[in-house]
Amino acid sequence: MRFADLIAGGLHLLSYAGKDAILGAVNRGGMIEASSLFHRIHKAVSGIQPKCVVIDTSADVFAGNENDRAQVRQFIGLLRRLAIDGNCAVVLCSHPSLIGIKTETGLSGSTGWHNSVRARMFFKTATTDKGDEPDPELRELLFMKNNYGPVGARVLLRWRNGVFVPEPGQGTIEKAIAERKAEDLFLKLLDRFGAVTNKKGTSYAPALFAEEQEAKAAKVSKSALADAMGRLFAANKLHLEAYDYPCRKRFRIVAGPKP
């Protein structure tokens, strides 16, 4: 999908890079007051009626004390007005403090950031139960608060083609790591072999690869390799290439996206 397709589909962007992006600031009375930019966005949102408004980040748009609960709640109140009048969801992105990262609360500043919203998510590096980070492309989205769903729910995502996408059918990080290991092994063995196919028979890649020493040492089964092959095809990391053998056309698996 091209960027122009997103715009044509209804995506509205407002860039304030290098400019004043404050939506709410403290007035002389110590209260959070809406800025002219907020009123401009509020008018646009009320007219467009979007599905979702995303604001990035809180440090750029909130000119108050993040540790002052009253000011935080007043600012969240401004965003709530956007949600109500625009009949939409409002997502505010925020960076956690070092303590928020260490404790995995994802917080920075007053607990008002947590208590004043309907849901709060924490996007973090995916780790095992032992705290290891085995796959740099994996991330976890944790629901720290969720008034309309289960608290503690986790979504596993992988960096792919410039975006994070959900890992299909994943239950645990350990399972995702095992599947990644099978995919890496499949690609490694594919580079070693000649003509192998995705069709069952004497040249069926998963069956041949499962007999290799690396697969046995890593305890990667034929079915695991077959599943890995399917995911790699789906991710456009494998494609079929026609070749003559010896005088009739057949197809073999080739690494890389389809030309």
Average pLDDT over residues 10-30: 94
- Global confidence as pTM: 0.65
Q: Which pLDDT tens digit goes with each residue over 194-230?
A: 789 998 888 999 999 999 999 999 889 999 999 999 9
Residue 246's pLDDT is what?
Answer: 56
* Per-residue pLDDT band at 163 (split at 50, 70, 90): confident
Residue (of 36, 48, 43, 51) closest to 91 by Cα position: 51
Higher pLDDT, residue 68 or 171:
68
Percent of the chain past pLDDT 90, that is, above it, reads 59
Of 83, 98, 117, the one marking the end of a domain is 117
Do the beta carbons of residue 35 and residue 25 sit within 8 Å?
yes
Q: Are residues 151 and 238 in the same domain?
A: no
Residue 248's pLDDT is what?
Answer: 64
Residues in CB range of 211: below 8 A, 6 or more apart: none
Average pLDDT over residues 11-24: 93
Residue 161's pLDDT is what?
Answer: 81
Q: Are residues 13 and 3 in the same domain?
A: yes
- Computed over every residue of the chain, the mean pLDDT equals 89
Q: Tokens representing 167?
A: 């890992």
Q: Which pLDDT tens digit goes with each residue over 88-140?
A: 999 999 999 999 988 888 999 998 999 999 999 999 988 776 667 777 888 88
Higher pLDDT, residue 171 or 229:
229
Q: Are residues 132 and 209 in the same domain?
A: no
Question: Three-state SS string across the chain, please?
Answer: CCHHHHHHCCCCCCCCCCCCCCCEEECCCCCEEECHHHHHHHHHHHHHCCCEEEEECHHHHEECCCCCHHHHHHHHHHHHHHHHHHCCEEEEECCCCHHHHHCCCCCCCCCHHHHCCCEEEEEEECCCCCCCCCCCCEEEEEEEEECCCCCCCEEEEEEECCEEEECCCCCCHHHHHHHHHHHHHHHHHHHHCCCCECCCCCCEHHHHHHCCHHHHHHCCCHHHHHHHHHHHHHCCCEEEEEEECCCCEEEEEEECCCC
The Cα–Cα gap between 55 and 26 comes to 19
Range of the structural domain that residue 150 is part of: 119-170
Q: Are residues 109 and 8 in the same domain?
A: yes
Q: Are residues 31 and 76 in the same domain?
A: yes
* Per-residue pLDDT band at 179 (split at 50, 70, 90): confident
Q: Are residues 140 and 201 in the same domain?
A: no
Q: Are residues 165 and 184 in the same domain?
A: no
Q: Are residues 165 and 179 in the same domain?
A: no
The Cα–Cα gap between 241 and 160 comes to 24
Q: Are residues 102 and 129 in the same domain?
A: no
Higher pLDDT, residue 150 or 254:
254
Residue 76's pLDDT is what?
Answer: 97
Residue 228's pLDDT is what?
Answer: 93
Q: Are residues 3 and 72 in the same domain?
A: yes
* Per-residue pLDDT band at 148 (split at 50, 70, 90): confident
Higher pLDDT, residue 79 or 153:
79
Q: Are residues 160 and 194 in the same domain?
A: no
Of 76, 97, 117, the one marking the end of a domain is 117
Residue 133's pLDDT is what?
Answer: 73
Question: Total structural domains in the chain?
Answer: 3
pLDDT at 244 > cutoff 80: no
Residue 71's pLDDT is what?
Answer: 97
Q: Which of 9-23, 34-48, 175-189, 193-207 ranks highest by mean pLDDT? A: 34-48
Residue 46's pLDDT is what?
Answer: 97
Q: Are residues 135 and 195 in the same domain?
A: no
